[in-house]
Amino acid sequence: MSVEVFDVAIIGYGPAGATLANLLGQLGLSTLVLEREANIYPLPRAIHFDGEVMRVFETAGLRHEVETISRPGLKGMYFNNAVGETLLIRAGTSERGPHGCATNHYFHQPELEAVLREGVRRYPHVKVRTRHEVTAIEDGNQAVTLHVTDLPLAQSYTVKARYVVGCDGARSLVRKVMGTSMRDLGLHQPWLVFDVRLKTEVPGLPDHTVQHCDPARPMTYCNVTGNRRRWEIMLMPGDDPEQLVQPETLWALVGKWVTPEQADIERAVIYTFHSVIAQGWRKGRLLLAGDAAHQTPPFLGQGMCAAIRDVSNLAWKLHAVLAGHTHHTLLDTYESERSPHVQAFIELAVKLGDIIQTTDPQAARERDARFKAGSPEIFQFPAPRLGSGVWQGEQVPVAQVFPQPLLANGRLLDTALGLNFAVIGDETLLSTVSVDTRQRWQTLGVVTLPALDPEIQAWLQHHSVRAVMLRPDRYIMGMAQTGHDLDELSDLLPTAVLAH
């Protein structure tokens, strides 16, 4: 029997694998998804994603569906001390922040994964096999061979793919096969995660996330969606993990906010939060994404967000290489761009962890004084630049994500761009590029958008440039003052290898 060959095989159908499957489906690549489990992991894990991540879902054509199962969080996250004074606030935004939506969104992870999986059904060239476990991987010159077990039939078979993406979680087999080690960023701490469903209105429960930075027992409270509420509770010296997950202990821990008469337990599990980054995200035809490549403590709600940014960065690069537009070394820019970006988020989460996890009362008093308890500093999510890769120019915001303005026709920018490169700028400037550049834009389907919309004109003016070039993941590839600048920038486009 002949062995099936796919452009891409994705191992693991969590949020990273399911989002990548949607993007590759949209890009027309033949894709196989292999997942060991029969169903979506049913218990709550991630509850927050940010505005940039909503844009990826929007690009995948799923914004409306994601909005139906999530809620915008307008207030942000409050860090309060033991007596309830606020030390620090991670800002929220109004409905339309810089990404054309709220900055924070709250959701129940199994419901989001169901939306993503439903989205994949739009693409007949994306095959999904659940209860199929990958047991061995052999990288080769032309393709990767995967050894797979069909678990219900207890039968093994092989399948080939030109590239394999390990979206296979923290204990990744792909990472092991690649021989990739993890760099430790220093935080490893057990926390109890306690999810409840309210049976009734509970007066006094905040509608936003609160980090209770109480040295006697650090805790996080989260309003998730609907009647779901979560407490994350730090383990203290002397805690007995088995005792901690008993209902009477759980209710005693959250007794000042909620009682068993007011809520049902959904689950209580102890997780150890880690802060690690893989060193080597690509080896030959094997790549890593999501928790397989990095893990962060959840103090910023960014683990899954980083996974979604990974696959948004990787999808168009895989397409460019597989379509023969460029050399496979483009895939090396995946790690060089993403690794420092995710590191900035993890380092901030670790720093916030140090603030939250202070258990020495004297140190907590000093912390409160340092943060001027009661007159809180407000901070935003970081917007790190990508590490070196497919972009050019020293000037910030090059290599940062472009905002999503509202166009004069009432549509948001991303709906006009699709999964394409784009040039947005002064109409006369766009007409001065060379014939070679114009041809390159045409070959690659680069969207050219004259800057007629007031929000775009204001952005260009603010940065004193006449045009901006965007990648399909909406990161800024470069900015231009002249047609010649645009010609130079266009050398970075993946058509470059073929064109020269």
Ligand X SMILES: Cc1cc2nc3c(=O)[nH]c(=O)nc-3n(C[C@H](O)[C@H](O)[C@H](O)COP(=O)(O)OP(=O)(O)OC[C@H]3O[C@@H](n4cnc5c(N)ncnc54)[C@H](O)[C@@H]3O)c2cc1C
Give me the residues that bind ligand X (CB under 6 A), please. 11-17, 34-37, 41, 45-49, 133-134, 167-169, 173, 193, 271, 290-291, 298, 301-305, 307
Q: Name the pairing type of β-strands 219-223 and 209-213.
A: antiparallel
Query: Concatenated DSSP letters for 385-419?
Result: PP-SSS---SSTTTTSBPP-PBPTTS-BHHHHH-S
Question: Closer to ligand X at the Cβ: 52 or 426?
Answer: 52
CB of 24 to ligand X, least distance (A): 15
CB of 14 to ligand X, least distance (A): 2
CB of 472 to ligand X, least distance (A): 21
Residue 312 DSSP symbol:
H
3-state secondary structure of 477: strand
CB 271 within 8 A of CB 190: yes
CB of 381 to ligand X, least distance (A): 12
Question: Closer to ligand X at the Cβ: 132 or 471?
Answer: 132
Question: Closer to ligand X at the Cβ: 43 or 396?
Answer: 43
Those residues with Cβ within 8 angstroms of residue 411's Cβ, 6 or more apart along the chain or in another chain: none
Question: Closer to ligand X at the Cβ: 48 or 228?
Answer: 48
CB of 172 to ligand X, least distance (A): 7
Question: Closer to ligand X at the Cβ: 49 or 257?
Answer: 49
Task: Quickly list H helices, 323-331.
Answer: none
CB 440 within 8 A of CB 499: yes
CB of 330 to ligand X, least distance (A): 22
Question: Closer to ligand X at the Cβ: 21 or 468?
Answer: 21
d(CA 92, CA 50): 10
CB of 368 to ligand X, least distance (A): 26
Question: Closer to ligand X at the Cβ: 191 or 475?
Answer: 191
In 10 A of CB 225, how many CB atoms? Answer: 16
d(CA 155, CA 302): 38
Task: Quickly list H helices, 157-262.
Answer: 173-178, 241-244, 247-253
H or E element at residue 429: helix 427-430
Closest to 109 (Cα-Cα) out of 212, 16, 210: 16
Closest to 51 (Cα-Cα) out of 397, 379, 308, 227: 308
d(CA 289, CA 283): 13
CB of 37 to ligand X, least distance (A): 5
Question: Closer to ligand X at the Cβ: 426 or 473?
Answer: 473
CB of 12 to ligand X, least distance (A): 3
Question: Closer to ligand X at the Cβ: 132 or 440?
Answer: 132
Closest to 219 (Cα-Cα) out of 169, 183, 267, 255: 255
Question: Closer to ligand X at the Cβ: 11 or 331?
Answer: 11
CB of 366 to ligand X, least distance (A): 29
> Phi/psi at 176 (nearest 5 deg)?
-65, -45
